[in-house]
């Protein structure tokens, strides 16, 4: 299509590509299929074809990080005879590298990711209104998947809003917490709680936000929301109470129950470590793991997955994430909150690293690397209320 026609039609391809990729990745998580995976991979490769000359004037350090991670993963697969899903994992990494750079360009508009976030929220709300328990929502994932999906979409929303200096709303964080609490996973509740608290602190630092709540329109909207919530509570009283009790029950499990599962998986992984596995990674399919097949060889930890797939290179990536987190404390409070939430949520489930949501950790690493020695106009993060 001619460039002038695109401008006249006001077509924003970066927004369409990112939104479509995000939507397909969420759909693939909930309803995995080969067709959806292929569509997502093709979508993720489009930025390379369309925007290479204009957008990807790459920082050499960003290129080095990506190339080293890719090469190290391939070497690890060869040395450990771990070829299962290797082509797909490589394509996931390339996809997310391109998508992360697309977000880093700052050319994505907010309407696409806002639509996806609120569509997902509406989807989950339909299950609540029909009184369907959280554990029956996702066929191919446990209830933990609910918080994974809503947190990924919420972080993407705030990340895009930052670049266009859009008003950062507290509503997505609140909805994320509500659906994560309904989804019962402890890690999801903790992570989304940090998100709400962090965004609230950012809002609290700007008194204009609280003054704006006192105007007539805001009070009218607040009264409408309060009335709607009250009506829902009365209509779904028993369901809400049961859901609340289920979530509290998950949070209140005793120590023995907590240790049975993830802690045993992680302990088993560390017990198999030696110098070779530390440098080049592990093959969890051949390493001693009594319950591996029963647990579908799921490490339930994004960072252990990274470490098992890339060895010492994974440690470098983790160090870069920690350095970025420390840097954001002083330079970008919003990104500090978002990255902290991502790390907390990824610590107990496989959300990223050689998966379709790798663009999030890669974006924060690339943003830190690109701006580490530069004065950024947004470095102290200004909230436009």
pTM reported for the whole predicted model: 0.82
381 or 355, which is more confident: 355
Residue 251 confidence class, pLDDT cut points 50, 70, 90: very low
In a domain, 15, yes or no: yes
**Average pLDDT along the chain:** 80
- Span 103-116, mean pLDDT? 91
In a domain, 384, yes or no: no
pLDDT score, position 364: 96
Instruction: Quickly count: other Cβ atoms within 10 Å of residue 263's Cβ.
Output: 12
Tokens 């554990």, residue located? 135
Is a pLDDT exceeding 50 seen at residue 375? no
pLDDT score, position 117: 96
In a domain, 381, yes or no: no
**306: which 2 tokens?**
């990274």
In a domain, 339, yes or no: yes
In a domain, 379, yes or no: no
pLDDT score, position 67: 92
In a domain, 385, yes or no: no
In terms of residue numbers, what domain contains 54?
3-371
- Span 112-138, mean pLDDT? 89
- 3-state per-residue secondary structure call for the chain: CCHHHHHHHCCCHHHHHHHHHHHHHHHHHHCCCHHHHHHHHHHHHHHHHHCHHHHCCCCHHHHHHHHHHHHHHHHHHHHCCCCCCHHHHHHHHHHHHHHHHHHHCCCCCHHHHHHHHHHHHHHHHHHHHCCCCHHHCCCCCCCHHHHHHHHHHHHHHHHHHHHCCCCCCCHHHHHHHHHHHHCCCHHHHHHHHHHHHHHHHHHHCCHHHHHHCCCHHHHHHHHHHHHHHHHHHHHCHHHHHHHHHHHHHHHCCCHHHHHHHHHHHHHHHHHCCCHHHHHHCCCCCCCCCCCCCCCCCCCCCHHHHHHHHHCHHHHHHHHHHHHHHHHHHHHCHHHHHHHHHHHHHHCCCCCCCCCCCCHHHHHHHHHHHHHCCCCCCCCCCCCCC
Buried b / exposed e across 349-366, counting CB within 10 Å, b at 16+? bbbbbbbbbbbbbbbbbb
- Span 283-287, mean pLDDT? 81
Residue 116 confidence class, pLDDT cut points 50, 70, 90: very high
In a domain, 236, yes or no: yes
Contacts 24+ apart (CB under 8 A), 246-253: 246/133, 246/134, 246/184, 247/181, 247/182, 247/184, 247/189, 250/184, 250/185, 250/186, 251/186, 251/189
In a domain, 51, yes or no: yes
Is a pLDDT exceeding 80 seen at residue 78? yes
Residue 256 confidence class, pLDDT cut points 50, 70, 90: very low
215 or 104, which is more confident: 104
User: Looking at the chain, how many residues does it have?
Assistant: 385
Domains in the chain: how many in total? 1
Q: How far apart are CA 109 and CA 267, in angstroms?
A: 44
């Amino acid at each position: 299509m001619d460039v002038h026609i695109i401008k006249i039609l006001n077509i924003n391809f970066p927004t369409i590509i990112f939104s479509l990729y995000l939507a397909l990745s969420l759909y693939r998580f909930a309803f995995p299929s080969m067709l959806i995976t292929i569509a997502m991979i093709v979508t993720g490769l489009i930025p390379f074809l369309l925007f290479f000359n204009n957008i990807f004037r790459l920082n050499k350090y960003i290129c080095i990080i990506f190339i080293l991670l890719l090469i190290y993963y391939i070497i690890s697969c060869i040395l450990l005879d771990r070829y299962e899903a290797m082509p797909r994992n490589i394509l996931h990494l390339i996809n997310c590298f391109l998508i992360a750079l697309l977000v880093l360009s700052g050319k994505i508009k907010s309407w696409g990711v806002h639509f996806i976030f609120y569509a997902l929220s509406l989807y989950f709300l339909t299950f609540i209104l029909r009184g369907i328990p959280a554990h029956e929502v996702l066929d191919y994932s446990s209830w933990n998947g609910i918080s994974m999906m809503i947190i990924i979409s919420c972080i993407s929303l705030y990340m895009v809003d930052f670049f266009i200096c859009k008003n950062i709303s507290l509503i997505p964080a609140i909805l994320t917490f509500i659906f994560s609490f309904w989804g019962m996973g402890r890690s999801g509740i903790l992570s989304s709680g940090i998100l709400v608290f962090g965004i609230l602190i950012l809002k609290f630092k700007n008194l204009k936000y609280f003054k704006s709540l006192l105007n007539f329109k805001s009070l009218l909207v607040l009264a409408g929301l309060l009335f709607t919530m009250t009506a829902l509570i009365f209509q779904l009283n028993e369901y809400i109470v049961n859901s609340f009790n289920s979530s509290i029950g998950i949070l209140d499990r005793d120590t023995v129950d907590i240790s049975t599962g993830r802690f045993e998986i992680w302990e088993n992984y560390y017990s198999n470590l030696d110098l070779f596995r530390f440098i080049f990674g592990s093959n969890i399919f051949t390493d001693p793991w009594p319950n591996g097949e029963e647990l579908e060889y799921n490490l339930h930890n994004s960072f252990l997955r990274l470490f098992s797939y890339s060895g010492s290179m994974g440690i470098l990536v983790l160090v870069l994430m920690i350095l970025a987190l420390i840097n954001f404390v002083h330079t970008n409070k919003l990104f500090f909150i978002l990255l902290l939430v991502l790390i907390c949520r990824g610590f107990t489930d496989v959300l990223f690293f050689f998966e379709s949501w790798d663009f999030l950790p890669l974006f924060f690493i690339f943003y830190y690397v690109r701006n580490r020695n530069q004065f950024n106009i947004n470095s102290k993060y200004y909230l436009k209320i």
